[in-house]
Amino acid sequence: MAINHKVNKKLESFNEESKIKLRVRKLKNKYSIYIDYHTNKGRERKYLGLYLAGDENNWQEDRVILLKAREVQRLFEEKLKLERDKFKLNSNKSEANFVDYFELMAEKRKGNTRHNLLSVLSHLKEYTDGTIKFSDIDQAFCEGLKHHILSKCSINTTKHYFSKLSQALEDAIFLYDLPMLNYFKRVKHGRSTPPPIRYLTKDELQNLIDNPYPNKKVVNPFLFAAFTGLRLSDVKALLFENVVDGRINITQIKTKIPLDVLMNPNAVAIIEEQKQIQGRKSGKIFDMLEDDYLNWRIKQWVKNCGINKTITFHCARHTFATMGITAGMDIYEVSELLGHTEIKHTLLYAKLVNKKKDLAALKFPKIL
């Protein structure tokens, strides 16, 4: 039985720009996935313990397996980059410096991810004086680092930083077959408090529209997100081909779930304007600025309009949700439009709007 052409097409797309190649080997009733790559020692193979059915009836299950294989491929790409930078972890596993490893990983990232990792790195360096062997990362070390970070940051931030440390160590353990446990995973944190939901009211959004920032690369993507609820990643990837008859039809980058929604007239107007700006009707709809720079510009725009709020691009999504619920949209309708996987995520906005109504009721003048 030949392997499904969809599987082959997906493998070709993964392998197109990578030196780490994903291959499959035919077994009796399935296909085993392995990676194929070259090092200074020559050609190497590593079987991943992932298996494909390979037929059309099991395509959806195979697609999930392929995404797992792609993540392993990405990890091995990182390994080759580290080795090119002379970080020879596998030459002396017990003596390698985790701080150096983490720093190299951080430097290779971009945008907000890089900024977050460098923040973690600063705490790690401060606590370790720049050196901690992989073999010395135990429960006592992790607990001490937690209390060090907690003395300067909130529980939420500390928990977030530990997730970055845990992921970095988990990758290293997998890539280099390190004989150790991931103690970062075992650290218990206090109860997290949900971060505040920052959004713009209808009047504040109108204020921004009436006083636009002098750069359409800031204005149009932000307003489009406020009128559709799309995440930044989906706005960046959106093509004119994804917008047909006033509908957006995409697979969301974060959740991998299809989204097919009708746009409101405000969003349609922005698409039409972008056609004029771009001078075409195909390809990327928006020319996006770098994430950090875009958020800095949005903050300047909000400040110039006299709005005393810290607003980033993601707040446009919050704005869409709260405005929709305030206008009387059903909670399930809002959930569908936002592409939420669970209704509990949308209920956060409903609670926020109800709290606003309670505060408004208290402002009613006392007459009796």
Residues 62 and 170 placed together within one structural domain of the fold = no
Q: Which domain holds residue 112?
A: 90-186
Domain assignment of residue 82, yes or no: no
One domain, residues 211 and 64: no
Adjacent-strand bridge partners of 243 = 248
Query: 301-317, pLDDT tens digit by residue?
Result: 999 999 999 999 999 98
Q: What is the CATH number of the domain that holds 320?
A: 1.10.443.10
Interatomic CA distance for residues 170 and 175, integer angstroms: 9
Report the distance separating Cα 348 and Cα 325, nearest Å. 11
Q: Rounded CA gap, 329 and 345, in Å?
A: 16
Nearest-angstrom CA–CA distance, 96 and 172: 11
Residues 108 and 145 in one domain: yes
Q: Which two tokens stand for residue 359?
A: 């505060």
Alpha-carbon gap, residue 251 to 253, rounded angstroms: 6
C-alpha 112/C-alpha 94 separation (Å) is 32
Q: Are residues 100 and 21 in the same domain?
A: no
Same domain, 274 and 320: yes
What is the per-residue pLDDT across 256-295, written as a single tens digit (0 to 9) for each? 888 888 899 999 999 999 999 999 999 999 999 988 899 9
CATH of the domain at 95: 1.10.150
Strands 31-39 and 21-26: antiparallel
Residues 206 and 352 in one domain: yes
What element of type H or E holds 143?
helix 139-150
Assigned token pair, 299: 């903050």
The domain total for the chain is: 3
The one-letter code for the residue type at 27 is L
Cα dist. 173→44, 92, 208 in Å? 19, 14, 49
Distance, CA of 314 to CA of 293 (rounded, Å): 14
pLDDT digits (tens, 9 = 90+) for 137-178: 999 999 999 999 999 998 989 999 999 999 999 888 887 778
Can you tell me the distance from the alpha carbon of 256 to that of 238, in angstroms, rounded to the nearest whole number? 14
Could you tell me if residue 191 is inside a domain?
no
Per-chain mean pLDDT for the chain = 85
Q: Distance from CA of residue 338 to its chain's centroid?
A: 16
Residue 99 has pLDDT above 90, yes or no: yes
Question: What is the residue type of 157?
Answer: T
List of residues 6+ apart from 234 with CB closer than 8 A: 250, 252, 253, 254, 259
Residues 220 and 323 in one domain: yes
253 and 347 within one domain: yes
Residue 39 inside a domain? The answer is yes
Per-residue three-class SS string for 10-22: HHHHHHCCCCCEE
The helix/strand/coil state of 205 is helix
User: Residue 203: pLDDT above 90?
Assistant: yes
pLDDT band at 364 (very low <50, low <70, confident <90, very high): very low
**Res 360 pLDDT > 50:** no
Higher pLDDT, 78 or 214: 214
Identify whether residues 288 and 206 lie together within a single domain.
yes
Looking at the domain assignment, is residue 80 inside a domain? Answer: no
- The last residue of one of the domains, among 186, 218, 239, is 186
- 130 and 155 fall within a common domain: yes
Q: What is 258-325 written as a DSSP string?
A: EEEEEPPHHHHHHHHHHHHHHT-SSSBS--PPPHHHHHHHHHHHHHHTT--S---TTHHHHHHHHHHH
pLDDT value of residue 42: 76
Final residue in a domain of this structure, among 128, 151, 186: 186
Q: At what angle do helices 291-304 and 111-128 cross, to 10 degrees?
A: 100
Question: Does 318 reside within a domain?
Answer: yes
Do the domain assignments include residue 84? no
Give the three-state DSSP class for 114: helix
